[in-house]
Amino acid sequence: MPIESINPATGELIKRYPELSEADVSEKIEETHKAWLSWKTSSFAERASYMNQAASVLRKRKQELAELMALEMGKPLKAGEGEIEKCAVCCEYYAAHAEQFLSMETIETEAQKSYATFEPLGVILAVMPWNFPFWQAFRFLAPGLMAGNCAVLKHSSNVGGCAVAIEEIIREAGFPENVFQTLLIGSKAVDKVIENPLIKAVTLTGSTSAGMKVASKAASLVKKSVLELGGSDPYIILADADLNLAASVCAESRLINSGQSCIAAKRFIVVKEVAQKFTELFKEKLAEKVMGDPFDERTEVGPQARQDLRDELHQQVIKSIELGAKCLLGGFIPEGNHAFYPPTLLSDVKKGMPAYDEETFGPVAAVITADNEDDAIEIANDTIFGLGAAVFSKDLKRAEEIAAHRLNAGACFVNAGVKSDPRLPFGGVNQSGFGRELGIYGIKEFVNIKTVYIR
């Protein structure tokens, strides 16, 4: 089957890419393995020179790549430009710090000398989603290549142009041939790739169901996997919070990438003393956001990436309303052959509703009223996920205690929206996945931590 790219703002076909055959895939993996045999012996300085050049190529092509994202998955241009800049910063960060992060660690024992070294594993398979088509790839590629690994990418089928562009960027940056290659294949071909003995590990960002399948396959072959999966991030608003700040941050976080982000705020848990006031302010902030053509510089909310995903989101909204939630904003499908869905606000959300129990991957905000602080924390933790969380309070000591010790998530922020940063470890717990990306911990996920002992 061909890989099809469809414009979500118009429903029009952009391009078809022929899917690689099983033989073609095997050949590409073999080529990448051969490239690794040399790449693994390269110096950090050599790798850094290529990685810094990749940052330059990204910036040079920023406008073009932002337009490609707008075309293929509906990302507003300004957001696309920001994504490319973030990729460039990530490349520069690991170019500057990889050698330090992977330096030998001396360990005192009775031996004359004992230490740990960090050596590359080989060819890593990256299975990546459409929502941040460049960032998701580069946040793995930058540390992965700097660690001495090589990689092949199976990207989401609706962003084939972005997948091809990533390989072009690596090539234009001057990296040795085949240290990275894109595999234009469908999801059904992933198992065969994992089975290839030259694939040493796999990293996946995507849905929990996809992560379960990939992790199960990798585990059956005793291959390591790192998973960044879904989330239903709770944002707690306490009685002493700055409500204007909270409403602004919550609106920005809920609508990041038109609501299509694993770490976008999803559930807004407000103590009852300030629930009405916060909800009013929150509604105002959401209503201010401009939905429209992703190529229009004024647009803040573009279309959803695919019509089927938009329709599934709408059904979650309809079901929640049928079960008693109140729709204060949005909640309808605009007419036309497109995938737009307006910013939507639901209040009176309770356990048993999709807006409470499930991940809503789109611009739908669920306000949940809590009796008090303890009840808010209990509601926040009442989820199968555990990716990000935030708490808003003017009492920073109390808020920090909640973030550091009482919320079950991989990243907890105080008076700020959850975000990924090359300097900080990123990942989740429970059904949001395992392992970490970014920071010093991310670069150490796909290395052999080798003990050396000299008597």
Which among 110, 132, 141 is positioned nearest to 32, based on CA atoms?
141
Neighbours of 395 (CB within 10 A): 12
Catalytic residue among 19, 262, 358, 412: 262
Q: Are 442 and 138 in contact (CB under 8 A)?
A: no
Helix, strand, coil fractions of the chain, as percent rounded to 5: 45, 20, 35
Which among 310, 296, 271, 291 is positioned nearest to 393, based on CA atoms?
271
d(CA 356, CA 350) in angstroms, rounded, equals 6
Residue 384: which residues within 8 A CB-CB, separation 6 or more?
Answer: 208, 232, 430, 431
Beta pairing, strands 113-120 & 105-106: antiparallel
- Which residue has tokens 């929640």? 320
Catalytic residue among 92, 228, 359, 437: 228
Amino acid at 96: A
Which among 259, 271, 205 is positioned nearest to 233, based on CA atoms?
259
Residue 119: which residues within 8 A CB-CB, separation 6 or more?
Answer: 40, 148, 447, 448, 450
Amino acid at 94: Y
How would DSSP label each residue in 219-288? HHTT-EEEEE----EEEEE-TTS-HHHHHHHHHHHHHGGGG--TTSEEEEEEEGGGHHHHHHHHHHHHHH
Q: Are 310 and 341 in contact (CB under 8 A)?
A: yes
Q: Count CA atoms closer than 13 A to 94's CA, side-chain side.
A: 35
**Eight-state DSSP code of residue 437:** B
Helix (H, G, I), strand (E, B) or coil at 333: coil
Look up 4 and say whether it is catalytic.
Answer: no
Look up 262 and say whether it is catalytic.
Answer: yes
Residues forming the active site: 228, 262
